[in-house]
């Protein structure tokens, strides 16, 4: 990220607000800070996340402002709703400035030990691939990931960019608890097509980065996913069958596109 952008963000917040860039994507830049948006300005041991959507110079300024406002507000509203779903793990929304493209969130990484060596599912699986990919910890963690996705879909929400990088692992009670993050493309949707696409995107992410153990990993993920639906009896079984059938259709379309190029 350019010094100009960092200076712009720092000036907007307050030049005294400490900022550390932790990620950058196509739509947003993510920072960590020790300053709360509503409390007195001072550093603390607690961290927060600031997600900032910078202006896009290739768009007309008025269109860019409208899109930034809409996307920032939509993501904030979605996070606020998801946070209220029992059992679903997402970062807590703290503040939103939709007009300027800022979202303040709970910082999940503060719960990770310094020597963990990973903060998301992708890094977690890489670490265990060098040790024992069939470890019970991997199975338990992937089953929990599947359960989180199942809870998301059962409540008729979709992620839109469900990769292993957008699943953060937090140590809770001696086990790893997955949190779903980055809902910039998230939506409310009861369509099995959207849910099938979510599952396909995650499958492709697993295959591309952990191909040697992908089939085993996918099995554990789908085990946790299916359990959420199966808890709801016949209704759940019917919906699960619909989602899995559409998932297979999406997968077949994806393979055909790969073959054609």
Active site residues: 161
Q: Which two tokens mark 80? A: 């606020």
Q: Which two tokens stand for residue 220?
A: 């554990």
Q: What angle do CA 232, 165, 2 make, to 5 degrees?
A: 140
């Amino acid at each position: 990220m350019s010094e100009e952008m960092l200076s712009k963000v720092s000036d907007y917040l307050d030049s005294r607000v400490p900022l550390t860039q932790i990620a950058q994507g196509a739509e947003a830049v993510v920072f960590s800070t020790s300053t709360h948006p509503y409390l007195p300005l001072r550093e603390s041991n607690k961290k927060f996340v600031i997600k900032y959507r910078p202006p896009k110079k290739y768009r007309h300024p008025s269109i860019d402002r409208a899109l930034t406002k809409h996307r920032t507000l939509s993501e904030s509203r979605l996070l606020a709703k998801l946070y209220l779903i029992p059992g679903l793990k997402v970062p807590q929304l703290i503040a939103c400035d939709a007009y300027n493209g800022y979202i303040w969130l709970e910082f999940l990484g503060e719960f990770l030990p310094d020597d963990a060596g990973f903060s998301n599912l992708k890094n977690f699986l890489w670490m265990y691939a060098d040790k024992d990919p069939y470890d019970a910890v991997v199975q338990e963690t992937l089953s929990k990931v599947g359960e989180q996705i199942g809870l998301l879909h059962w409540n008729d929400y979709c992620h839109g960019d469900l990769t292993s990088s957008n699943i953060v692992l937090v140590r809770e009670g001696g086990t790893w608890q997955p949190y779903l993050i980055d809902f910039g493309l998230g939506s409310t949707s009861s369509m099995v097509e959207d849910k099938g696409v979510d599952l396909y995107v995650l499958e492709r992410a697993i295959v591309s980065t952990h191909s040697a153990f992908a089939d085993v990993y996918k099995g554990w993920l789908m085990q946790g996913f299916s359990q959420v639906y199966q808890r709801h009896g016949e209704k759940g079984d019917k919906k699960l069958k619909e989602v899995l059938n559409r998932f297979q259709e999406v997968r077949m379309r994806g393979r055909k596109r790969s073959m054609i190029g």
